[in-house]
Amino acid sequence: MISDERLLQMLRDADALNALEHGRTPAPAVRRTRLIPFAIAAAVLIAGAGLALFGSRDRSSPGSPVEIAAVAPRPESPDPAAAPTSSLLLAVYQNGAGKLSCVNWSTDVLKGRAITSLSANELTRLGLTLACDPEAARILVVGLEGPAGSLPSSDARAQAVAQCLSTTPPCAEGVFNPRTCAAAGCLDTEVKVRIESLALR
Amino acid sequence: MKRRLTELTADPHAGEDLSQRTWLAVWEAVRDGRYDPQRAAMTTYVYAVSQNVFRNWARSRATSASHAPAIAAERATGAAPRVDPIEEAEVIDELRRALRDGAPGLTAGQLQALQLLSLGLTDRELARALAVAPSTAHARKREALDALRDHIERRFFTERPASVRKEQAEQP
């Protein structure tokens, strides 16, 4: 009989090989009954956040209608002037239709590590710690690195980047990482970006 | 592979050395007909061989405190002293398929938990990702691993599924 530890190790091996060869594929869709209360709560959040953000957006999604999503409340918002950041992590949650449902971000979870030093799984795990929408169908974990002024430093900018990432189609097949390639249009040119995608439903 | 071996050994020179040993072992296996492409993909086979090479290396350094965790983990897995890489690769290939496409007997919820566990999430992280209580996450992990084990054992071993054994064990 295979022990739990052995099974988990082989699962991690299997995932590493899948990520290496094919990237991740969506899990089968599943609907849960508690979706309805969350949908109502999300609608309220969306409406509230929309009213709050509509006037304060400092960057809109290129070529797409303004869409509004919730930004997860965070206990403290880093002050870019007081503490310039060189990297941050965006957790972009999307619903089943691929629309942005919620954004959370942090400069702390990377603990100063370069995004290139993280494995794909590490990046995804860190993104999952930035909880936001329990009913989301997919999470895009976006690692950003660059001059402090070029990185999102407010909820509104994080929201705008997330919105852009959610609405920009991936680059054509054949590009090494179509999502990362597509993200270039959403960010300043000096920003390095890494994106991992994981189906949650 | 070299990067992974370097991470495992925490030594670039050892990583390089084990990488070369892995390719040599793969070449010999192909030459001697021990690798069967019908049983496992080459990528998975190379990976399994590299695991074996690392285990052997770790055992040979069992006295080194820095590698004690690797040895302990190896012992905890209950793996045979020598694992045939082709058998290991077969199982890993089946797990790769299960993670991508699901498997008979696995519910969508169990598959979701397995996909998250395959990222190396702890119980606490799993609870956060599933937006459930830690105890619920732990229960889901248990169910998912049992279902997966049943599937693997049905597929590769003649033993009866763990759940059946459990039921039989519980009978007076």
Residue B29 phi, psi (nearest 5) = -65, -40
Q: Is A27 close to B112, i.e. CB distance below 8 A?
A: yes
Are residues A94 and A193 located together in one domain of the fold? yes
Q: What distance in Å separates the CA atoms of residue A9 and residue B120, rounded to the nearest whole number?
A: 9
Q: Name the least confident of A79-88, B43-52, B69-78.
A: B69-78
Burial of A152 (0-12, 13-18, 19+ CB in 10 A): buried
Are residues A54 and A89 located together in one domain of the fold? no
* Contacts by B101-107, CB closer than 8 A, 24 or more apart: B101/A25, B102/A27, B102/A28, B103/B148, B103/B151, B104/B151, B105/B147, B105/B150, B105/B151, B105/B154, B106/B144, B106/B147, B106/B148, B106/B151, B107/B147
The pLDDT value recorded for residue A115 is 83
Q: Is the pTM of this model over 0.80?
A: no
Which residues, 6 or more positions from A190, have their beta carbon under 8 angstroms from its beta carbon?
A146, A147, A150
Residue A173: strand pairing partners:
A175
Q: Which chain A residues touch B52 with a CB distance below 8 Å?
A: none
Q: Which of B72-86, B91-105, B147-161 has the highest mean pLDDT?
A: B91-105
Does residue A125 lie within any of the structural domains?
Answer: yes
Q: What distance in Å separates the CA atoms of residue A21 and residue A17, rounded to the nearest whole number?
A: 6
Q: Does B43 touch chain A (CB under 8 A)?
A: yes
Are residues B165 and B95 located together in one domain of the fold? yes
Average of per-residue pLDDT across B145-170: 68
Are residues B163 and B122 located together in one domain of the fold? yes
Residue A166's SS3 state is helix
Q: Is B95 close to A13, i.e. CB distance below 8 A?
A: yes
Stretches where chain A sits below pLDDT 70 are 22-85, 172-178, 201
DSSP category for residue A147: -
The pLDDT value recorded for residue A62 is 36
Q: Which chain B residues touch A15 with a CB distance below 8 Å?
A: 96, 99, 115, 118-119
The pLDDT value recorded for residue A31 is 29
Which residue, of B77, B108, B129, is where some domain finishes? B77
Residue A92: strand pairing partners:
A103, A140
For residue B142, pLDDT over 90 is answered with yes
Higher-confidence position of B5 and A30:
B5
Q: What distance in Å separates the CA atoms of residue B111 and residue A1, rounded to the nearest whole number?
A: 20
The pLDDT value recorded for residue B26 is 94
The pLDDT value recorded for residue A13 is 86
Higher-confidence position of B43 and A53:
B43
Q: Is B153 close to A200, i.e. CB distance below 8 A?
A: no
Provide the phi-psi class of B148: left if phi over 0, else alpha when psi is between -120 and 50, else beta: alpha
Are residues B166 and B139 located together in one domain of the fold? yes
Q: What distance in Å separates the CA atoms of residue B97 and residue B104, rounded to the nearest whole number?
A: 11
Q: Does A83 touch chain B (CB under 8 A)?
A: no
Does residue A79 lie within any of the structural domains?
Answer: no
Q: Does A15 touch chain B (CB under 8 A)?
A: yes
Name the residue type at position A172: A
Query: In which domain, by residue range, is B92 found?
Result: 85-170
* 0.85 surpassed by complex ipTM: no
Question: Which of A6, A109, A200 to probe by mutation at the B interface, max B CB count within 10 Å?
Answer: A6
**Number of structural domains, chain B?**
2
Are residues A26 and A89 located together in one domain of the fold? no
The pLDDT value recorded for residue A30 is 29
Which residue, of B77, B109, B130, is where some domain finishes? B77
Are residues B110 and B73 located together in one domain of the fold? no
Are residues A89 and A183 located together in one domain of the fold? yes
Query: In which domain, by residue range, is A16 found?
Result: 4-59
pLDDT digits 0-9 by tens, A4-42: 888 888 888 888 888 777 544 333 322 233 333 444 455
pLDDT digits 0-9 by tens, B98-132: 888 888 888 888 888 898 888 888 888 888 788 78
Does residue A66 lie within any of the structural domains?
Answer: no
Residue B15 phi, psi (nearest 5) = -60, -45
Q: Is B108 close to A27, i.e. CB distance below 8 A?
A: yes
Q: Is B77 close to A5, i.e. CB distance below 8 A?
A: yes
CB atoms inside a 10 Å sphere around CB A171 = 17
Name the residue type at position A126: L
Q: Which chain A residues touch B99 with a CB distance below 8 Å?
A: 11, 14-15, 18
Closest residue in chain B to residue A3, using alpha carbons only: B77
Q: Which residue has the tokens 């004690």?
A: B68
Q: Which chain B residues touch A24 with a CB distance below 8 Å?
A: 115
Are residues A114 and A158 located together in one domain of the fold? yes
Does residue A71 lie within any of the structural domains?
Answer: no
Q: Name the least confident of A28-37, A83-92, B3-12, B56-65.
A: A28-37
Minimal C-alpha gap between A62 and chain B (Å): 31
For residue B78, pLDDT over 90 is answered with no
Q: Which residue has the tokens 């190379």?
A: B46
Q: What is the CATH number of the domain that holds B144?
A: 1.10.10.10
Are residues A89 and A43 located together in one domain of the fold? no
Are residues B52 and B111 located together in one domain of the fold? no
Q: Does B106 touch chain A (CB under 8 A)?
A: no
Are residues A90 and A132 located together in one domain of the fold? yes
Does residue A72 lie within any of the structural domains?
Answer: no
> Residue A19 is encoded by which pair of tokens?
């990520």
Residue A90's SS3 state is strand
For residue B169, pLDDT over 60 is answered with no
Q: What distance in Å separates the CA atoms of residue B106 and residue B98, rounded to the nearest whole number?
A: 9
**Number of structural domains, chain A?**
2
Q: What distance in Å separates the CA atoms of residue A77 and residue B6, rounded to the nearest whole number?
A: 38
Are residues A96 and A16 located together in one domain of the fold? no
Residue A25's SS3 state is coil
Which residue, of B59, B77, B95, is where some domain finishes? B77
Are residues A25 and A97 located together in one domain of the fold? no
Average of per-residue pLDDT across B122-148: 88
pLDDT band at B139 (very low <50, low <70, confident <90, very high): very high
Average of per-residue pLDDT across B46-70: 76
Residue A71's SS3 state is strand
Report DSSP letters for chain B, one per residue: -HHHHHHHHT-HHHHHHHHHHHHHHHHHHHHTT---TTTS-HHHHHHHHHHHHHHHHHHHTTT-GGGHHHHHHHHHHT--SS--HHHHHHHHHHHHHHHHH--TT--HHHHHHHHHHTTT--HHHHHHHHTS-HHHHHHHHHHHHHHHHHHHHHHH-SSPPHHHHHHHHH--
Are residues A170 and A105 located together in one domain of the fold? yes
